[in-house]
Structure 1
């Protein structure tokens, strides 16, 4: 899906929910899409303000991330301690995550066999899946050399 189409759909979503459609909210979609990696909202606030001071206030960024999450363009990837990490998923294929508990590195991966097992389990239990995520916490190869 193109960003212009995503923005149009997000505008419709905002109107249906009774929220204001603002230039800042729509410009934030471009900023978040171009961020390029997983993020905490506060990291995004700093990055956006360094890119373009007039785009949006801290509170607008926080509210817009939550609205984009409800809309389905952003998802919460992990909660790790007091950190919540998000990713922009609009137009990206489904994937899972490996998370290093030492350095915080996040590795994305996709395995068809994992998807098939999840489908079989749901079928076995007559369960209709709506969404899922898989996170594997461990130590990445770079940090494993320092594990004693």
Structure 2
């Protein structure tokens, strides 16, 4: 991500009447640069590397405000704490490795077409969707 992403996050907070402190600026920087799907504890750890006074409560309040603005997505994958990513990414789906907890993003035109076809056959139009595949690597014999 770039500074533009951090700026969008900051503007969303300001629009919600939230003051941008050094602690919140650190959280926004971490969120905008995250290439993975960190949970609140991981965001807290990374933000404290930038600004040591960041509290976990500030992380949670900041995430709640950003989520309310629709600027970040909260993902609750089975058996794990909620994870977060910015909402400005192109649409993608997720594979969750049930053994390692890794989250892999992927895009599939075949899946997108099939979802549209199924919805149409049933008399619906897809407005939005999330696809999560819980997987593990095949076991060796």
| Fold match by TM threshold 0.5 | yes
- In the alignment, is the contact (CA less than 8 A) between 2:97 and 2:135 conserved in 1? yes
Structure 1: any 5+ residue segments left out of the alignment?
none
Aligned with 1:58 (options 50, 56, 59):
56
1:74 corresponds to 2:77: no
CA distance in 2, matches of 1:76, 1:123: 28
- In the alignment, is the contact (CA less than 8 A) between 1:97 and 1:106 conserved in 2? yes
* Stretches (4+) displaced over 6 A: none
Over 3 Å counting, the alpha-carbon distance change for 1:69 and 1:129 in structure 2 is farther
- In the alignment, is the contact (CA less than 8 A) between 2:30 and 2:46 conserved in 1? no
Q: Give 1:29's aligned residue.
A: 28
Structure 2: any 5+ residue segments left out of the alignment?
none
1:102 corresponds to 2:105: no
- In the alignment, is the contact (CA less than 8 A) between 2:75 and 2:82 conserved in 1? yes
CA deviations 1:19-38 (Å, max 9, x no partner) are x3332434422221113211
TM-score, normalised to structure 1, is: 0.76
Q: Give 2:84's aligned residue.
A: 87
Aligned-CA RMSD value: 2.4
1:132 Cα offset (Å): 1.5
CA deviations 1:53-93 (Å, max 9, x no partner) are 13x32101011112222222222223322x22423233211
SS in 2 for 1:25: helix
1:128 Cα offset (Å): 4.6
Q: Give 1:137's aligned residue.
A: 134
CA distance in 1, matches of 2:118, 2:124: 8
